[in-house]
Amino acid sequence: MTREDVEANAEHAGGAAAQELDPLRSVDFSKLERQLMKPRAFLSMLLSSVATAMTLFALIPLFSVLLLLIWRGGRKLSLPHSRSFLRCRSRRAADLETRSSVLS
């Protein structure tokens, strides 16, 4: 609700009595903008920037471990239709044939 809205409502509600109840009468809206020259606003912006940078820096190991897990786990994952699985299967079959021929 803007100051103009409150003033318009005050005019409709009864004039002087309603203006005394105006909570926004003493507010200067031009001073509510963020001003970095004020120490409190500057410190707030600085600490927010530091917290954001630290959060992003802390996410680096998280994503590196996640990528490592996907990369190494994906290589070890053997799918039935992959070529590497078929090569391993044919090598095992050949090894079994040579072992059975040696035993007999």
What whole-number distance in Å separates Cα of residue 100 and Cα of residue 103?
Answer: 5
In a domain, 64, yes or no: no
pLDDT mean over 75-94: 62
In a domain, 46, yes or no: no
Report how many domains make up the chain.
1
Q: How many CA atoms lie within 13 A of 92 on its CB side?
A: 6
What's the mean per-residue pLDDT of the chain? 75
Selected residue with higher pLDDT from 24 and 66: 66
In a domain, 103, yes or no: no
pTM over 0.75: no
Supply 42's token pair: 């500057």
Identify the domain containing residue 13 by its residue range: 1-33
Q: Length of the chain in residues, anyone?
A: 104
Answer yes or no: are the C-beta atoms of 78 and 88 closer than 8 Å: yes
pLDDT mean over 16-36: 70
